[in-house]
Structure 1
Amino acid sequence: MTASARWWPVALSHELGKQPLACQLHDLPLVLFRAEDGTPAALPDRCPHRFAPLSAGKVRDGQIECPYHGWRFAADGRCTRVPGTELERCDKPLLDSLPSCEAHGLVWVSPAGDRPAILPVAPAEQRQALDTFWITDEVECSLLEAAENFLDGFHTHFVHAGWIRHDRQRQAISARVRPLADGVEALYSEEGTQSGLISRLFEGERGISMGRFRLPGLAEIEYRDRKGGLNLLVSAWLVPVGNGRLRLFARIATARGWLPAALKRLVLRRLFGVILRQDRQILEQVSANQRRFEHLPVKPLDGRQDLLGPSIRLLIEGGEALDFEERRVEIRL
């Protein structure tokens, strides 16, 4: 299945209220709004009359109204009103609507034109009570670069030194890399609590941790204690918006405990804000440096410690599940 034939998140559900919302997906500017029945609708962000941005208009009775001359469009792209004229029945849409839906706290769109048979990719299922909150960001890099960065533990000793790990306090751990039906996963065992500030503040004893990538663009980090209870789950949907930029929708989930959710959210938002700024800086440096060398036939060099990056590259390029035997790798993380 091609990337365009899948669901992509384009906004947080709570962002889509009574006003239209502008967004972009794969170089296509879109306007989102809620139809009369409350469901999300997605149209190209242009009025076909004089190309005014519909996102600068208003939502009237579940339809989008152009800010320039007041032309009004239904969720299916049909024009329903042209002020100053008697509009004849308009059976043919003037704008190509995109399939849209709402799930997992996100608004989803498919740019393929047909409604995908596969449901929007969901975060890992949890059966315990969780405190959750969202962080959004935008970064200049590719989907592959962002996914590998998010799931690569070996950069944390340097880019996030002190916050996640220290280079001088590595642990000998075992990693199992295995294919998933729609992605790839690494399971890490025999790792104690990480030496950085975040783990020492918010994590008890470490049992097992996991990093996984699922098509078309969900990257997850999951930490569990020795009894199997969740300590932390970060689910990051990575969405190419165009012009070499990527939109991030990150859902942070922690086990509900004695610490009030509002206080936990305040502290974690600040800490993860630091981590995201550090990642954004190195990713944009890498992306800019790649452009400096794009005239040369050079490719990234994969090492033994690159557990998920090569598989993520194959998944994104092929758009289909991988078939390989589970492998075990001993590393110092």
Structure 2
Amino acid sequence: MTAWNATLLRGWYPVAEAHRLRDKPMRVTVFGRAVVLARLPSGGLLALDDRCPHRHVPLSDGQLVGETLQCKYHGWTFGADGRCTTMPGMCPGAAVPTVQVNAWQVFEHDGLIWMSARPPGEASPAALPEFLRRLPAGSRRFLWSTLWQARPADALENFLDPLHTHLVHPGLVRSHGARQPMTVTVAQSADGLQVDYAGQPQQSGLLYRLFESPRTMERAHFGIAAPSTAQLEYRYANGSALYFTLHFTPEDEMRTRLFATLHVENRWAPAWAVRWFVWPFLYRVAEQDRRVVEAQAANSARFGRQDGMSTELDLVRPMLDAVWMPNGKPVEAGERVMQMWL
């Protein structure tokens, strides 16, 4: 845990697809910590360190008993607050000794199970950044997850960085020989980052030609309350909108769990159509990104370097380093406008 910026643990992280959490406990890993998740009969959620304090057996190997989780070894049971409620073998009427397992804050939102190590009292979707809370109900068209051998900050930068798309996704997202000037506005605050791109209503790649129409807005979002999450928002002249949201939750220093969603607003795009016609292209883009970010991570480890040379073109890196580097320096709030060739 010492390799992480201490403030990161107060953030909210998706750790599992909600539909996969059924009647059996599930183990997930975040920041190198094993956590057991369970959906209680009442519909509530339980998230505890995956370790019985008695003999350290994984609680994820246990079972639900009413509103508690029972360890399979000696039958100790624990509630959602982490407090031990039963120790089989005690004399009738004897008080259960005070035993506690570390409990995580947990809630379900937009098909994902979210967790945080922050103190109790904020376990609700209202704790998430506004760009996540405003996604229209029923607009999600797919939810996908996979594992990358990469650092979260590098994966986030890759998703938010338009300058790599000409070379990593040539002809698919953008074409290197079709660059055009764009006005870029970067707004930073204590809550996060917003980047607006103006001056390019049409994009040069195949994805745009197949599935999009003239844009009126291209915007990137990053919020410190959910520091592993970023979103690309596209709005169109016909009144429709697309929201690509990626979550890069760290399992440990070099393994990042990716959750990806696509939300569609005011446009015909049933889930089956997205799955059969759009998803093959998006998957190809994701695989191209995975390969380059995993190569970056492996080479950084080989040379023992996590830093890199940045210029003003690296729009989001200062904010990401402020959040993710162990000794990250806060960035100054404000707005700047610049020109880029995209």
- Alignment gaps of 5+ in structure 2: 1-5
Correspondence for 1:305 = 313
Shift of 1:30: 0.4
Instruction: Look up the equivalent residue of 1:260 and give its one-letter code.
Output: P
- 1:28-107 maps to which residues of 2 (within 5 A)? 28-83=33-88, 86=91, 88-90=94-96, 92-107=98-113
Summarize the Cα distance change of 1:278–1:36 in structure 2 as closer, same or farther, 3 Å threshold: same
Asked if structure 2 preserves the Cα contact closer than 8 Å seen for 1:182 and 1:320, the reply is no
Shift of residue 86, structure 1, vs aligned partner: 4.4
Equivalent runs, 1:269-288 vs 2, <5 Å: 269-288=279-298
Q: 1:220 matched to which residue of 2?
A: 231
1:263 equivalent to 2:273? Answer yes
Preserved contact between residue 8 and residue 120 of structure 1 (Cα < 8 Å): no
Of the candidates 140, 148, 155, which is equivalent to residue 164 of structure 2?
A: 155
Give the AA of the match of 2:316.
L
AA in 2 matched with 1:279: D
C-alpha displacement of 1:286: 0.6
| Contact 1:128–1:255 (8 Å) recurs in 2 | no
Q: By how many angstroms is 1:321 displaced?
A: 7.2
1:124 offset after TM fit, Å? 6.1
Q: Which secondary structure does the structure 1 equivalent of 2:100 belong to?
A: coil
Distance 1:205 1:100, change over 3 A: same
Q: How many residues align?
A: 330
The code of the aligned residue for 1:60 comes to V
What is the distance in 2 between the residues matched to 1:63 and 1:121? 31
* Offset, 1:279: 1.2
Amino acid at match of 2:60: S
* Residue correspondence of structure 1 range 167-186 to structure 2 within 5 A: 167-186=176-195
Structure 1 residues 200, 321: CA separation in 2 closer, same or farther (over 3 Å shift)? farther
Structure 2 contact 69–79 (Cα < 8 Å) conserved: yes
2: distance between equivalents of 1:211 and 1:249? 17
Deviations 1:182-221 (A, max 9, x none): 1111111111322222222211112220112111222111
Distance of 1:195 and 1:90 partners within structure 2: 67
Partner amino acid, structure 2, of 1:101: F
SS of match in other structure, 2:37: strand
Q: Does 1:110 align with 2:116?
A: yes
Q: In 1, distance between residues paired with 2:273 and 2:216?
A: 26
TM-superposed deviation, 1:145:
0.7
In the other structure, the counterpart of 1:201 is 210
SS of aligned partner of 1:208: strand
Indicate the larger mover: 170-179 or 247-256: 247-256
Q: Secondary structure at the match of 1:264?
A: helix
Give the residue type in structure 2 aligned to 1:204: S
- Listed one character per residue, the Cα deviations across residues 82-112 of structure 1 (whole Å, up to 9, x for unaligned) are 4555474325233222222223332222224
How far the C-alpha of 1:169 sits from its partner, in A, is 1.7
Q: Counterpart in 1 of 2:3?
A: none
- Quote how far apart the aligned CAs of 1:149 are: 0.6
Question: 1:98 and 1:261, CA in 2 relative to 1: closer, same or farther beyond 3 A?
Answer: closer
Residue range with higher mean Cα deviation, 17-26 or 103-112: 103-112
Deviation string, structure 1 residues 34-55 (Cα, Å, up to 9, x no partner): 2342111111112233322221
Distance 1:58 1:104 in 2: 26
Contact 1:184 1:312 in 2 (8 A): no
Look up the SS of the partner of 2:96 in the other structure. Answer: coil
- Once structures 1 and 2 are overlaid, which stretch shifts more, 206-215 or 302-311? 302-311
SS of 2:301's equivalent in the other structure is helix
1:240 — aligned with what?
A: 250
Describe the superposition over 1:140-186 as per-residue Cα deviations: whole angstroms up to 9, x where unpaired: 22221111111001111111122211111222211111124511111
1:12 matched residue in structure 2? 17
SS of equivalent residue, structure 2 residue 177: coil
Partner SS state of residue 168, structure 1: helix
Preserved CA contact (<8 Å) 1:175 1:330: yes
Where in structure 1 are there 5+ consecutive unaligned residues? none
Instruction: Indicate how the Cα distance of structure 1 residues 23 and 163 shifts in structure 2: closer, same or farther if over 3 A, else same.
Output: same
Matches of 1:311 and 1:243 in 2, distance apart?
19
Q: Equivalents in 2 of 1:196, 1:7: separation in Å?
A: 34
Q: 2-side partners of 1:73 and 1:119: how far apart?
A: 26
Measure, in 2, the Cα distance between the counterparts of 1:268 and 1:90.
56
In 1: Cα distance, 2:118 partner to 2:152 partner: 19
**What SS does the corresponding residue of 1:284 show, helix, strand or coil?**
helix
